[in-house]
Amino acid sequence: NESFSVNREGHLTIGGADTVALAREYGTPLYVMDEGMIRDNCRRYRRAIDEFYGGRGIAAYASKAFSCKEIYRIVQQEGMGVDVVSEGELYTSLLAGFPADKIFFHGNNKSEGELQFAIRQRVGYIVVDNLRELHTLEHLLEREGQEMKILLRVKPGVDAHTHQFIRTGQIDSKFGFALETGEALAAARECAALRRARLVGLHCHIGSQIFEVEPFCLAARRLIGLMGQIRRECGLELGMLNLGGGFGIKYTEEDDPVPYERFMERVSLAIHEAAAAEGLPVPYVVLEPGRSIVGRAGITLYTVGARKEIPGVRTYLSVDGGMTDNPRYALYQSKYEAIVANRAGEPKTETVTIAGRCCESGDLLAEGAKVQPCSPGDILAVLSTGAYNYSMASNYNRVPRPAVVMVKDGKSRVVVRRESLDDLVRNDL
């Protein structure tokens, strides 16, 4: 990976900055993100959209992967849209100056208050999940005297092979209108009768950390088929196709994702063919990558503490963070690579279980991880933690959330301050 290297002291560097020096300067645990790599990933999507759709499309960064003011500024500068999924993400994006008209507002149970906020802030698109939401939205728009572009979230009936907790395209999913049962078509028919909510397109998201291209092509074909049906039966011309996110990234050597460019090329082919078959113009395409923008750009630095050998079983290496800053092993048994940052030049000769500091046996970050020889006081870097780590962090055991540091051209700056003990009790009465 071009973002990482080892310097003369044998220390791991990210984006040109010495990770051991970062740990010393800002303390651990610490999230560190390579801004150059994030921007690079944004540009790869933009170039692919230019190449395969003649620029008629946009990548909307799925900010649930990592949300703070600075990331909205960065993706805005890169010409992207954003996907937000709560009033909190929406608020943060607007506070960072993100243009409302490039925001897609998601969620399977948006509250009336959230919808109202989105309307007043003139959010670009609301991705409507269910009929109750559709009716509430129309009612609120009427009251506010406003119009709103909407997409319908459709379950295309595509089963992508990924962890069941992050699979979303199948019929038995809490998200969206089912295609097979006619639910989605019926919803479009209702939209045709509305005056304020204007249906402009369809959305689907089939899951996350997906390596195969075919499920996306299949979903695209099905949604375009539905667009044809909606035109014939409801008289609505839908110009926008939002295929969600979910493009997988490489966490360990076992992962072998297709580069996004090839991915986009094949999906584009499916879209062009399906549109031609339906006699429809090629839709404006929206993608919602989250993990693939920030995942590999982030690492987490920890200080190694206790070491415990269970003879013949395993060696536990405890670090000063854990499931509070990265709950993904506890939730999905996800795999990570780790490097002893102050011995990055040495061969990995140890196999360890990296344990967190929480009062919970399942608080692990990795099992069977290969690392350099490691002792208390060493700095351990867990790689590819840029997505769904900080954004899923908690204060379990009243552990403060770590700071987030952004690195660019060897220089670092804090973009999210470390939580203090006072932050922890701020709302306690």
Size of the site for ligand LLP (CB under 6 A): 21
Least Å distance between CB 294 and ligand LLP?
8
CB 382, CB 338: distance < 8 Å = yes
Least Å distance between CB 37 and ligand LLP?
16
328 lines the binding site for ligand LLP (CB under 6 A)? yes
- Of 66 and 302, the one with the shorter C-beta distance to ligand LLP is 66
Residues in 35-74 that interact with ligand LLP by CB under 6 A: 62, 64-65
Stretch binding ligand LLP (CB under 6 A), from 9-17, 212-220, 239-247, 363-371:
239-247
- Of 280 and 297, the one with the shorter C-beta distance to ligand LLP is 297
89 lines the binding site for ligand LLP (CB under 6 A)? no
Least Å distance between CB 152 and ligand LLP?
13
Catalytic member of 42, 234, 358, 359: 359
CA angle 389, 73, 91 (to 5 degrees): 75
- Of 203 and 343, the one with the shorter C-beta distance to ligand LLP is 203
Least Å distance between CB 246 and ligand LLP?
4
156 lines the binding site for ligand LLP (CB under 6 A)? no
388 lines the binding site for ligand LLP (CB under 6 A)? yes
Residue 356 annotated as lining a ligand binding site: no
Residues in 261-300 that interact with ligand LLP by CB under 6 A: 288-292
Least Å distance between CB 106 and ligand LLP?
5
What's the rounded Cα separation, in Å, for the pair 48 and 331?
33
205 lines the binding site for ligand LLP (CB under 6 A)? yes
- Of 333 and 351, the one with the shorter C-beta distance to ligand LLP is 333
Residue 388 annotated as lining a ligand binding site: yes
CB 63, CB 390: distance < 8 Å = no
Least Å distance between CB 143 and ligand LLP?
27
Residue 290 annotated as lining a ligand binding site: yes
Residue 10 annotated as lining a ligand binding site: no
Burial of 332 (0-12, 13-18, 19+ CB in 10 A): middle
Let me know if 359 is a catalytic residue: yes
Two structure tokens written together for 129: 């999940």
User: Strand 125-128 and strand 103-105: pairing?
Assistant: parallel
- Of 11 and 153, the one with the shorter C-beta distance to ligand LLP is 153
Residue 291 annotated as lining a ligand binding site: yes
244 lines the binding site for ligand LLP (CB under 6 A)? yes
Residue 26 annotated as lining a ligand binding site: no
Residue 120 annotated as lining a ligand binding site: no
Q: One-letter amino acid identity for 146?
A: Q
- Of 215 and 244, the one with the shorter C-beta distance to ligand LLP is 244
- Of 11 and 328, the one with the shorter C-beta distance to ligand LLP is 328
Least Å distance between CB 197 and ligand LLP?
19
Residues tagged active-site: 359
Contact residues for ligand LLP (CB under 6 A)?
62, 64-65, 83, 106, 166, 205, 208-209, 244-247, 288-292, 328, 387-388
Binding-site residue positions for substrate: 291, 328, 332, 360, 388
Binding residues for pyridoxal 5'-phosphate: 246, 288-291, 388
